[in-house]
Chain A
Amino acid sequence: MIEHNLPALQVVIPLVAAPLCVVIRNARAVYGMTFVVAWLTFACAVALFIRVADSGDIVYAMGGWVAPWGIEYRVDQLSGFVLVLVAGMGAVVATWAPRGLAAEVAPSKRHLFWALYLLCLSGLLGIAITGDLFNVFVFLEISALSSYGLIALGGRRKALPAAFRYLIMGTIGATFILIGIGLMYMMTGTLNMADMATRLPVDGHRTVLVAFAFLTVGISLKAALFPLHAWLPDAYAYAPSTVSALLAATATKVSVYILLRFFLSVFGADFAFGGMGVGQILMVLAVVGMFVASAAAIFQGNLKRMLAYSSVAQIGYMVLGISLASTAGLTGGIVHLFNHGLIKGGMFMATGCILLRAGSVERDELAGIGKTMPWTMMAWTLGGLGLIGVPGTAGFVSKWYLLQAALEQGHVWLAVLLLLSSLLAVAYVWRVVEQAYFKKPAGIGVGAREAPLSMLLPTLVVIGLTLFFGFWTDFPAGAAGAAAESLLGGALMGGTS
């Protein structure tokens, strides 16, 4: 029974727990419940992933209403993979959070914080699991609205304009997506993805083209693809550390998932990349974004802002892989989606530890922090090596696939650009490493103590996983490869193409 309803439980558990937080109010009890719920959600995701790997895609009719009338949940290789990442990071970040949160969010607001956290999580999970287009929009709004609130809870006043700017841009993105979905509904009369894929006229009907254009821009906005990234750096920099870690690890990744789902599953690779030439446009934006955002990261003094810019650059890598529209390219993009989620989540967690102990994440004030917080800085540095793509880290695996995909299609220049942009990553990681390890402890770096174990352990686990997946590539690369093949193989998951 439970096993049968797993797809529904995946979303319903956190969704129902969120209002309970507001009812319970007691901060300690609320956190206890969140903790349990987050790990239960992760267990659901793992169970679903294993079932999909064993016995193929799962189709679940919500409330017994069969598609195309009812809402359908579908778990395939790709969505199972994204569910594991989102639920896993949601659980780990929730475990890591309480000590840091105590310093950042007033006790009176803490139960609201956790309610929003669970809502955001259920929204992100819902996007990944649903097989219904309108449902995607609904979950998109649930996760977005709750994250505006979460960002605004950041202690500094700058958090408010940052959240407001994100609200405006996020709403425009969601509206564009809704317009696109509406136009598609107009053409086909269905909202079920699989159904849509078989009915959508792909012979260049003008309404479909307009829908495609709106969706491209809307999703790119939500994914913070250059030059539509401007909302992201401030939002990540001024949000509470917990929120930065959760969103950096999951939010933009889920947007990239929507991109994959819409372009490849609904429209189909032939239409999106063959007829529309969207591949070239995305490739240009991705490459420019890789360089501009990496360069901007070099000059950031604030560690959180630096990581945020680095995220914009890394989104470029993912989109670049997708834009190549080959099995290797997609595998690279999807693997990087996963690996970067771990790496950036882990680095934001380490940065959160520094913020807690040193009271600042301004690079110039952190001289010698490597001596006073050795484990935290070790985690940060190892994460940084992953961003660069040093062999033995997960980042290397993704870059290897991307390089291969580029060479496979004869784009030697693209391979060169990939390697050059990695050099920029060396520069921004090095500036922090130099400050932390090669300067005499001074200023606030002297007084900092090592982070508390409750924060340090989850951070080390996540960073340890990035190293583990750098050697053992069966899971991320294997699963991503299978997802890439199924995406390119049929127009649609189970749909009759």
Chain B
Amino acid sequence: MMSSIPPAAVMILGAVLVPLLRGRLRTAYVLALPLAGLALVLSMGDTEFGKTTLFGYDMTLVRIDGLSRLFGWLFHIAAFIGLIFALRSPRNIEHPVALVYAGAAVGAVQAGDLITLFVFWEILAVSSVFLVWARAGERAFRAGMRYLVAQVGSGALLLVGILVYADAAGSVSFGDIGLDSPGGWLIMLAFGIKAAFPMLHTWLTDAYPESTFSGAVFLSAFTTKVAVYALARGFAGEDVLVWVGAAMTSFPIFYAVIENDLRRVLGYSMINQLGFMVCGIGIGTELAVNGAVAHAFNDVLFKGLLFMSMGAVLYRTGNINGSDLGGLYKSMPKTAGLCMVGAASISAFPLFSGFVSKSLVMGAALYEGYDVVWLMLLFASAGVFHHAGIKIPFFAFFSHDSGIRVKEAPGSMLIAMTVAAVLSMVNGIWPTLFLYPNLPYEVTYQPFTSAHVISQIQILFFSALAFCGLKLTGLYPPELRSVNLDVDWIVRRPLRRFALSLGGAGMALRGLVVRSGMAVTNRVVRTAERRTGPGGVLERTWSTSVSVLWAAALLAFLLILYFVR
């Protein structure tokens, strides 16, 4: 009986009761849900059930196998850690929404067919946006809307892709999809939006920093990792992904170095980490896919840890700009220490978790002869250490003393961060304990060879040296309160950019373009409103004679039509 409950239902349906509870009972209940879900998943082992037929297609509600197993565990663990961290959240809506969001992520990775995937895909989109909106204020509302448009757009592409694909393939089972059909391309594009492919990534760096101090922790864990799983399931071994992934590892580094909002820095570094996973999926060998899955697992833990440490800083100081912080190690020493564990993990220090998973992907790139890609990944590894490993802790906790004196992060937050830090270190020191044995394929890789350890330390050392050198000579981009433009600027300021590029004469043109553009838009809307709005011909209550006239006209039309036939 127990084994026929979809694990996703535990958190999604359980969330309904949360608003009714208060105080300690609520805390206990909220924390028990992900643990109950985890216990259920663990008790199931690898299984498939919930088979039904819908629209003439065979569906499988739950499928736990080598690829989806680890993701299912991971999302429960991440939900548990995030909820502990969010206990201090003053917003009632955050806990139930986060539970639905986490449950949808579990449901999506355990979906055995594309229709089920699509349903959870949309729940992911709609539930997560509330974590942005929960921060209230115009800025968060607008960022949330842009985020929602991107997410729902991904859902629409996915639906159309599924329809086209199902029509051609005659099945909606979620296995290897490939890029042989137009449906495959549409589906990959939909996955790509959620996975933050280059040029499609702006929703991530736009919305995550605008979310609540705890919202970003949940956001960083689920949406993109579901996309990584979906890519691994449907498009493993597609060569194009190797290059997309390599590009994702490299380009965010430049943005991350000049960005001032430290949570936005983490957003860019997230794209960088996703790049490693996408690249591994593109290579598609057993070693590479193992690397992608292992890195996804570790990334949720250490990126969550970093987002939590920055969330704690934001919670205590109300500020997250690198230019305004500094010297916080004096007042928040524990948070600083935990943040540095996260920084070491993401930078792939030997004995920290990033090291044992990133090596799988880079090793696979080298074995398969992708030399250029390997060099790009190498560059990206150095860059990660630079912006995430050094910059984040340095500007928040050290640097020049900003004079801000606050209390240490609250106990619940420290506990959440400690759990994440311990798990990161366990995976880093002892990967064969439970990470490697549960990867999709058998692991024969040995990360701790002397050559590998030494080369990694060299990278880290020279990267640190570069940071110190630039900082001491004053060449390092200073932390300024500024807005850095990303490609979403093209979307958000198209006419303006067009006009500015034309210079002075363009200003006049711009006025013209804006005016005529506005005029056309206004006209369309006005016409629609005049025709169908209050008092418009289509809205106004037609007099009886007009209605009768229509009926007579239609009858006459039909009679003539049949007569002619």
Q: How far is the CB of B260 from chain A (nearest CB, A)?
A: 30
- What residue in chain B is nearest A167 (Cβ atoms)? B544
- What residue in chain A is nearest B166 (Cβ atoms)? A404
0 or 1 for each of A378-391: is its CB under 8 Å from B? (1 = yes): 00000000000011
Interface residues of B in 512-565 (CB under 8 A from A): 528-529, 531-534, 536, 538-539, 541-542, 544, 546-548, 550-551, 554-555, 558-559, 561-563, 565
- What residue in chain A is nearest B540 (Cβ atoms)? A230
Asked whether A228 and B550 contact (CB < 8 A) given A168-B544, A217-B558, the answer is yes
- Interface residues on chain A, size class: 35 or more
Check B122 against A169 for contact (C-beta < 8 Å). Answer: no
Other-chain contact of B532, A176, A234, A298, A401 (Cβ < 8 Å): A298
* B536 / chain A contacts, CB cutoff of 8 Å: 296, 299
A159 within 8 A of partner (CB): no
Give the secondary structure class of A's interface: helix
Q: How far is the CB of B377 from chain A (nearest CB, A)?
A: 37
0 or 1 for each of A283-308: is its CB under 8 Å from B? (1 = yes): 00000000010011011110000000
CA distance A88 to B531 in the complex (A): 38
Q: How far is the CB of A185 from chain B (nearest CB, A)?
A: 19
Other-chain contact of A217, B123, B156, B539, B554 (Cβ < 8 Å): B554
- Interface residues on chain B, size class: 35 or more
CA distance A216 to B555 in the complex (A): 8
CA distance A404 to B534 in the complex (A): 36
Other-chain contact of A296, B126, B539, B558 (Cβ < 8 Å): B539
Check A292 against B548 for contact (C-beta < 8 Å). Answer: no
Check B167 against A407 for contact (C-beta < 8 Å). Answer: yes
B297 within 8 A of partner (CB): no
B119 within 8 A of partner (CB): yes
CA distance A401 to B167 in the complex (A): 13
Other-chain contact of A213, B159, B531, B548, B559 (Cβ < 8 Å): B559
Q: How far is the CB of B128 from chain A (nearest CB, A)?
A: 15
* B52 / chain A contacts, CB cutoff of 8 Å: 474
CA distance A117 to B126 in the complex (A): 40
Asked whether A276 and B562 contact (CB < 8 A) given A213-B555, A299-B536, A473-B54, the answer is yes
Check A419 against B555 for contact (C-beta < 8 Å). Answer: no
Check A477 against B548 for contact (C-beta < 8 Å). Answer: no
CA distance A210 to B563 in the complex (A): 9
Check B548 against A169 for contact (C-beta < 8 Å). Answer: yes
A468 within 8 A of partner (CB): no
B118 within 8 A of partner (CB): yes
Number of residue pairs spanning A and B whose beta carbons lie under 8 angstroms apart: 105
A148 within 8 A of partner (CB): no
Asked whether A438 and B546 contact (CB < 8 A) given A214-B555, A292-B532, the answer is no
Interface residues of B in 353-392 (CB under 8 A from A): none
- What residue in chain A is nearest B61 (Cβ atoms)? A471
A68 within 8 A of partner (CB): no
Check A228 against B528 for contact (C-beta < 8 Å). Answer: no
Check A217 against B555 for contact (C-beta < 8 Å). Answer: yes
* B160 / chain A contacts, CB cutoff of 8 Å: 419
- What residue in chain B is nearest A209 (Cβ atoms)? B562
Give the secondary structure class of B's interface: helix
CA distance A204 to B551 in the complex (A): 23
Check A169 against B539 for contact (C-beta < 8 Å). Answer: no
CA distance A380 to B250 in the complex (A): 47
B509 within 8 A of partner (CB): no
Check A401 against B55 for contact (C-beta < 8 Å). Answer: yes
CA distance A302 to B211 in the complex (A): 35
- What residue in chain A is nearest B531 (Cβ atoms)? A295
Other-chain contact of B122, A172, A296, A390, A404 (Cβ < 8 Å): A390
- What residue in chain A is nearest B535 (Cβ atoms)? A299
* A168 / chain B contacts, CB cutoff of 8 Å: 544, 547-548
B141 within 8 A of partner (CB): yes
* B534 / chain A contacts, CB cutoff of 8 Å: 299-301
* A220 / chain B contacts, CB cutoff of 8 Å: 554
CA distance A212 to B548 in the complex (A): 19
Check A172 against B548 for contact (C-beta < 8 Å). Answer: yes
A233 within 8 A of partner (CB): yes
Other-chain contact of B141, A176, A301, A438 (Cβ < 8 Å): A438
* B123 / chain A contacts, CB cutoff of 8 Å: 392
CA distance A210 to B533 in the complex (A): 37
Q: How far is the CB of A183 from chain B (nearest CB, A)?
A: 12
B40 within 8 A of partner (CB): no
* A401 / chain B contacts, CB cutoff of 8 Å: 55
Q: How far is the CB of B104 from chain A (nearest CB, A)?
A: 10
CA distance A228 to B123 in the complex (A): 38
- What residue in chain B is nearest A227 (Cβ atoms)? B550
Q: How far is the CB of A66 from chain B (nearest CB, A)?
A: 35
* A277 / chain B contacts, CB cutoff of 8 Å: 561, 565
0 or 1 for each of A462-482: is its CB under 8 Å from B? (1 = yes): 000000000001100100000
CA distance A237 to B175 in the complex (A): 50
Other-chain contact of A404, B55, B528, B563 (Cβ < 8 Å): B55
Interface residues of B in 241-270 (CB under 8 A from A): none
CA distance A103 to B531 in the complex (A): 35
B163 within 8 A of partner (CB): yes
* A275 / chain B contacts, CB cutoff of 8 Å: 565
Asked whether A217 and B54 contact (CB < 8 A) given A234-B541, A438-B141, the answer is no
CA distance A204 to B561 in the complex (A): 13
Check B538 against A292 for contact (C-beta < 8 Å). Answer: yes
Q: How far is the CB of B15 from chain A (nearest CB, A)?
A: 14
CA distance A404 to B160 in the complex (A): 11
Q: How far is the CB of B168 from chain A (nearest CB, A)?
A: 11
A273 within 8 A of partner (CB): no
Check B539 against A299 for contact (C-beta < 8 Å). Answer: yes
Interface residues of A in 438-472 (CB under 8 A from B): 438
* A230 / chain B contacts, CB cutoff of 8 Å: 541-542, 546-547, 550
Q: How far is the CB of B54 from chain A (nearest CB, A)?
A: 6
Q: Which of A220, A277, A392 has the most CB of B within 10 A?
A: A392
Q: How far is the CB of B108 from chain A (nearest CB, A)?
A: 12
CA distance A227 to B551 in the complex (A): 8
CA distance A407 to B165 in the complex (A): 12
Asked whether A296 and B538 contact (CB < 8 A) given A213-B558, A419-B156, the answer is yes
- What residue in chain B is nearest A169 (Cβ atoms)? B547
* A173 / chain B contacts, CB cutoff of 8 Å: 551
Check B55 against A295 for contact (C-beta < 8 Å). Answer: no
Check A213 against B54 for contact (C-beta < 8 Å). Answer: no
* A419 / chain B contacts, CB cutoff of 8 Å: 156, 160
Q: How far is the CB of B430 from chain A (nearest CB, A)?
A: 41
* B550 / chain A contacts, CB cutoff of 8 Å: 227-228, 230
CA distance A295 to B529 in the complex (A): 8
* A348 / chain B contacts, CB cutoff of 8 Å: none
11 additional A-B residue pairs with CB within 8 Å, beyond A221-B551, A227-B554: A172-B548, A176-B551, A206-B563, A209-B563, A292-B532, A295-B538, A296-B536, A299-B528, A301-B534, A392-B123, A407-B163
| 17 A-B pairs with C-beta separation under 8 A | A168-B547, A173-B551, A176-B551, A176-B555, A209-B559, A227-B554, A228-B554, A292-B538, A296-B533, A296-B538, A296-B539, A298-B532, A299-B528, A299-B529, A391-B122, A419-B156, A477-B54
The 8 closest A-B pairs by CB, nearest first: A299-B533, A230-B542, A296-B532, A213-B558, A209-B562, A230-B547, A391-B119, A295-B532
